[in-house]
């Protein structure tokens, strides 16, 4: 499996993002209720693999099982031989055998080969274009505004809060939210609010997943501009600490990250509360595991309207580290879903 992964690193001609799975090739799906990995062999040689999982969610006001298709890998020498499509179809069969109503996957907007396979050949439709926002952790810590309070919620309290405020505003709200919040990798859930001011009815909430314990990332190759900016930021951050500047961390050695999920905010002054929560998490990351966690990551909707647009503007992030080219594609797996669902998904995109 290590050979297949190294042959199919994520990235383009200028930058490669290497993944260190810490010896566990299925680390990204192991914490889901049902999961599997399929491999393809040619003359007893491993040439491809794919992973999948099934989870219960709330979708369009009903409970359904959704299958996630990920980590499709085919060794370059064996591409364009139909191996990828065979792997996907076999995985879809496994998903249907475990009562999955839909299958979805994520790729990049400019990944023509992936879109041609899933959308052109296999009947998936594009339904979301999320944005991945990445912010480097400030090892010196960030100061939270004195008028903002931050409180950690208990698991049942957090689950109740999410069900009351978030379930109707997200595509796939997990039915097993309590299990997710209780997972050993879920550090906790925090809510922020304005102190001593009952008139300001604004609040923000998020949960934190410690991805550092599952796998690590490393940038293996980057353009000169990225390397140069890294050195400049580190130099400035070292000598102008009184300006509160954040030095760009060393991303060329393996690093971990915190993933923020369940982010939601309401009220006219929610933006400042979102930022305070993100800074609170950054401070936590700076103190965790000797600074091994170097970035904080969150996914928000890429559309230019709705509440997620506010989140996108309020979440602290570095544009050069963030990504706005993700594309989610989905496909109904059951015959009774096909007639009505495809048009709904097309409208969502």
Here the tokens at position 72 are 């499709």
Does 347 score more than 60 pLDDT? no
Where in the sequence is the domain holding 126, given as residue range(s)? Answer: 2-130+327-348
Does 345 score more than 80 pLDDT? no
- Our CA dihedral for 79, 81, 85, 90, rounded to 10 degrees, sits at -110
pLDDT per position as a tens digit, 262-290: 999 999 999 999 999 999 999 999 998 77
CATH of the domain at 48: 3.40.630.30
Residues 93 and 175 reside in one and the same domain: no
Number of structural domains, the chain?
Answer: 2
The pLDDT value given to residue 120: 96
The pLDDT value given to residue 24: 83
**Most confidently modeled of 7-16, 150-159, 213-222, 295-304?**
150-159
Q: What is the mean pLDDT of residues 58-79?
A: 91
Of how many residues is the chain composed? 349
What is the spatial distance between Cα 70 and Cα 79, in angstroms, rounded to a whole number? 17
Does 311 score more than 80 pLDDT? yes
Angle separating helix axes 307-314 and 270-287, nearest 10 degrees: 50
The pLDDT value given to residue 337: 56
Residues 118 and 163 reside in one and the same domain: no
What is the spatial distance between Cα 168 and Cα 165, in angstroms, rounded to a whole number? 7
Here the tokens at position 321 are 């580290």
pLDDT per position as a tens digit, 136-168: 998 888 999 999 999 999 999 999 999 999 998
Residues 81 and 151 reside in one and the same domain: no
């Amino acid at each position: 499996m290590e050979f297949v992964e190294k042959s199919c690193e994520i990235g383009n001609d200028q930058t490669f993002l290497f993944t260190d799975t810490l010896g566990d090739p299925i680390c990204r799906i192991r914490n889901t209720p049902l999961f599997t990995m399929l491999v393809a062999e040619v003359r007893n040689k491993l040439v491809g693999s794919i992973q999948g999982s099934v989870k219960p969610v709330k979708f369009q006001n009903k409970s359904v099982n959704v299958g996630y298709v990920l980590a499709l890998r085919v060794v370059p020498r064996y591409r364009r031989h139909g191996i990828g499509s065979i792997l996907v179809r076999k995985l879809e069969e496994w998903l249907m055998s475990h009562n999955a109503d839909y299958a979805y996957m994520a790729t990049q907007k400019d990944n023509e080969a992936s879109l041609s396979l899933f959308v052109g050949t296999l009947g998936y439709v594009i339904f979301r274009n999320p944005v991945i926002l990445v912010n480097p952790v400030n090892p010196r810590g960030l100061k939270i505004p004195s008028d903002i309070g931050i409180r950690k919620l208990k698991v049942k309290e957090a689950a109740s809060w999410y069900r009351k405020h978030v379930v109707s505003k997200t595509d796939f709200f997990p039915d097993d939210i309590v299990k997710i919040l209780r997972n050993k990798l879920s550090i906790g859930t925090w809510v922020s609010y304005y102190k001593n001011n009952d008139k300001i009815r604004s609040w923000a909430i998020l949960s934190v997943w410690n991805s550092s314990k599952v796998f690590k990332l490393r940038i293996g190759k980057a353009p000169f501009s990225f390397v140069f900016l890294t050195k400049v930021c580190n130099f400035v951050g070292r000598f102008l600490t009184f300006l509160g500047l954040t030095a760009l961390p060393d991303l060329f050695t393996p690093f971990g990250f915190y993933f923020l999920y369940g982010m939601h905010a309401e009220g006219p002054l929610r933006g400042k509360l979102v930022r305070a929560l993100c800074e609170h998490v950054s401070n936590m990351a700076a103190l965790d595991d000797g600074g091994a966690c170097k970035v904080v990551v969150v996914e928000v909707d890429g559309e230019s309207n709705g509440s997620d647009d506010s989140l996108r503007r309020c979440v602290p992030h570095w544009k050069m580290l963030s990504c706005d080219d993700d594309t989610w594609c989905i496909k109904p797996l059951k015959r009774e879903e096909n007639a009505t669902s495809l048009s709904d998904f097309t409208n969502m995109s």
